[in-house]
Structure 1
Amino acid sequence: MYVPPAFREDDLAALHGVMRDARLANLVTATAEGLMATPLPLMLAPDEGPYGTLYGHVARANPQWKLSPAYDAMALFMGPDAYVSPSWYASKQEHQKVVPTWNYIAVHAYGQAEFFEDADRLLDVVTRLTNVHEQNRPKPWAVTDAPEAFIRAQLKGIVGLRLPITRLEGKRKMSQNRSAEDRAGVAAGLAASERTSDRAAAALIPQ
């Protein structure tokens, strides 16, 4: 990922925060048959390894897990993003030399993907992943709410994923390269948007 110095994010806690908030990632592997990508929720175990370890699962019918990767896998996480109109820049009124751009946050996690079929390990991953996404619901659903035999049968249709992270790249492009006046204009423009993602991006623009 191309990361100019002004947009580089190296803080591990911030990177992990983006990964947790993203909810859905894209797992990309380079195989002998070409690039393959699968959107899937991934759970971060932050204390496993220097950068953390990712866990998830793919459908057993998905050929991605059967093809030996030629290189490290890459998990792509996206944070808030928004189109930035040049009409929001204060500098537009001065010289008109402005163009549209896009603000966004992205984290790329690299490591060797490990796939596994052990039923007990799969149950652990499925349970932990479910708990992550159910924990804030008024009445959280738990894997144990379903009949054990049913869950065991469902596990036969998936394959587990473990990805120990060996490298992290982070990019936080939120108008840091603009003047304070331009940033204020972008923040105000996005904050007034009807799009939830725009308003989320507005709150991340440095003032």
Structure 2
Amino acid sequence: MYNARPHQEHDLERLHAQMLETRLAVLVSHGAQGLLATHLPVLVDTTEGEYGTVHGHLARANHQWQDLAQGGEALLVFPGADAYVSPSYYPSKAGAPKVVPTWNYLAVHAYGPVEVIHDAPRLLDIVSRLSDRHEQGRSEPWKVADAPADYIDGMLRAIVGIRLPIARLQGARKLSQNRSATDIQGVRDGLARSPDYLDKQLAAQMRLP
């Protein structure tokens, strides 16, 4: 992705935190069927490999997995909070009116080869761990084992798993770093006052060092 130098994020801990917080990633690939993208929940194992490894699954009817099985590099996009930045947030605008709107955002791109998984035990592990992750905090969390075994067996035959060992990571934290400290404060305050949840979330990120 295009990522100007002031907005580049290289801290691995921060990149992993963004990935772990993202509930729905976007898997992008290019192959015989052209450019394809699928939105899917994933598991990020930060302890496996230099940059981590990502697991997930696709519907078997989603033919993207066939392109992935041919090899080559795929991309997983982990979007974060984003917000419109109005020029009215800049205190400097009063004396320097040559300003235009922009957009602040967080994003991580993870690249790597994809292993396509068909065997039932590994698929069961992926779907079980995904369910356990998203059922956390519920008073009575649902587990895969709660469903009849023959039903789960049938569902597993309808999916394929993916394993993407991350070969490289790109992180973007576009948080008005190209503006003065006064303007950054103005943007942070303006977004914090917004009724929009994502605006407030981005304002909170701007408080980080």
Band the TM-score falls in, shorter-chain normalisation: over 0.9
Q: Which amino acid aligns with 1:21?
A: E
Whole-angstrom distance in 2 between the partners of 1:71 and 1:195: 40
**8 A Cα contact 1:30 1:70, kept in partner:** no
Sequence identity percentage: 53
Q: Cα offset for 1:33?
A: 2.5
Which position in structure 1 is the counterpart of 2:109? 108
Match of 2:66 in 1: 66
Counterpart in the other structure of 1:146: 147
What SS does the aligned partner of 1:176 have? coil
Q: Does 1:24 align with 2:24?
A: yes
* Matching residue's letter, 2:108: V
**CA shift for structure 1 position 70:** 6.2
Residues 168-193 of structure 1 deviation map (CA, whole Å, 9 limit, x = unaligned): 01111011111111111111111111
TM-score for the superposition, normalised by structure 2: 0.95
Cα drift, residue 129 of structure 1: 1.0
| Deviation per residue, 1:94-114 (Å, 9 max, x gap) | 111111000001110000011
Q: 1:195 — aligned with what?
A: 196
Task: Compute the displacement of 1:69 (Å).
Answer: 4.9
Where does residue 83 of structure 1 map in the other structure?
84
1:137 and 2:135 are equivalent in the alignment: no
**1:23 partner letter:** R
Contact kept in structure 2, 1:30 and 1:69, CA below 8 Å:
no
**Which residue is equivalent to 2:175?**
174
- The 1:70–1:159 alpha-carbon spacing in structure 2 relative to 1, beyond 3 Å, is closer
Taking the aligned partners of 1:176 and 1:95, their CA distance within structure 2 comes to 18
Note the C-alpha offset of 1:136: 2.5
The answer on 1:45 being equivalent to 2:45 is yes
Is 1:120 aligned with 2:87?
no
Residue of structure 2 equivalent to 1:7: 7
Structure 1 CA distance, aligned partners of 2:154 and 2:96?
66
Shifted more, 44-53 versus 185-194: the winner is 185-194
For residue 4 of structure 1, report the CA deviation from its aligned partner: 1.6
Aligned AA (1:50): E
Unaligned ranges ≥5, structure 1: none
Indicate yes or no: 2:52 matched with 1:55.
no
Question: Which runs of structure 1 show a deviation greater than 6 angstroms over 4 or more consecutive aligned residues?
Answer: none
CA spacing shift, 1:69–1:196, aligned 2, 3 Å? farther
* Matched position secondary structure for 1:161: strand
CA shift for structure 1 position 71: 3.0
Distance 2:26 2:64 in 1: 12
